[in-house]
Every structure is written in C-alpha cells, then in structure tokens.
C-alpha cells in the first residue's frame, strides 16, 4: 500500500531519500509506505514499561503507557492518543474495507489504525492498534 498525500504541511518534512537514509528498510516500509509488521513480533506488544511512546520517525510524543491495554490482537493497543493533535486520522479504503488510518501529526508517518465499538472496557471504546516499529518508548524517570 502506498500512502496517499494529505495536502497537509507537517512540522517535520524530509525528502524520500532522507527518510530512507534515516530509517531501516523495515521502519521505512511501515512508517513511510503504510505497511504493517507481523502480529506478535513487535518489541512493545507485551511491554509494561511506564513511559511515553513517540514516533520512531520524528520523535513526536504520541501515547502514554497508562492508555495501553491488552487487546490480544498482536500489536500494541492504546485507548487514546496523548493529545488530540498528536495524531491525524484518515479514511482508509484499502484491503476492501473501510478503516481509519492513524498517522503522526508531526511528520505524517503511518502508525496503524483505530477501531471503535469492539466492546473493550476502556474509557473511549477505541483501540488504537499501532505497529511497534512505528514507536520508540521513552521510559519514565524513576521516582
């Protein structure tokens, strides 16, 4: 799948060559080409570390660990982004279905998808299903 341009200007802009130089081939495939990592292989799928999850491409803070929950879907799941403006949501009609793609609002990198109404016992009834490879965990300072 190729990411469709949104027409939006991002605070972090790089050429395709610069993204390819900065990111590993696997990171580039997910973050810049809207790929998906295989389920159950990501480094943050089962992480319980307290901290903030940031965009691996640009470092923008996206999710707090206290919004992460066990959805048993094979990818890290969060019930809310850190702040409403930290992610952008786009309609995704690829794969023969209507979904909502989640992108980093700072650089436009693909993070995953958000789903609603699945019945999880969370404050929002949303599941932000995010690729581990799209994230970097910044552990909280020990108190």
Q: Is 129 a catalytic residue?
A: yes
Task: Give the residue from 12, 62, 2 showing the smallest Cα distance to 32.
Answer: 2
Q: Which of 55, 58, 107, 129 is catalytic?
A: 129
The pair of structure tokens assigned to 103 is 């992108």
Please count the other Cβ atoms lying within 10 Å of the Cβ belonging to residue 94. 12
Residue 76 near residue 45 (C-beta atoms within 8 A): yes
131: alpha, beta or left? (left if phi > 0; alpha if psi -120 to 50)? beta
Active site residues: 129
């Amino acid at each position: 799948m190729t990411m469709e341009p949104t027409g939006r200007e991002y605070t972090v802009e790089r050429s395709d060559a610069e993204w390819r130089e900065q990111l590993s081939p696997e990171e580039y495939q997910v973050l810049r080409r809207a790929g998906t990592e295989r389920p159950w292989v990501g480094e943050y799928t089962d992480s319980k570390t307290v901290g903030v999850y940031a965009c691996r491409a640009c470092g923008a803070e996206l999710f707090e660990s206290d919004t992460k929950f066990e959805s048993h879907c094979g990818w890290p799941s969060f019930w809310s982004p850190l702040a409403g403006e930290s992610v952008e949501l786009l309609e995704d009609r690829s794969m023969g279905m209507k979904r909502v793609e989640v992108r980093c609002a700072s650089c436009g990198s693909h993070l995953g998808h958000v789903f609603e109404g699945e019945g999880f016992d969370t404050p929002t009834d949303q599941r932000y299903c995010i690729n581990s490879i799209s994230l970097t965990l910044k552990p909280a300072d020990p108190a």
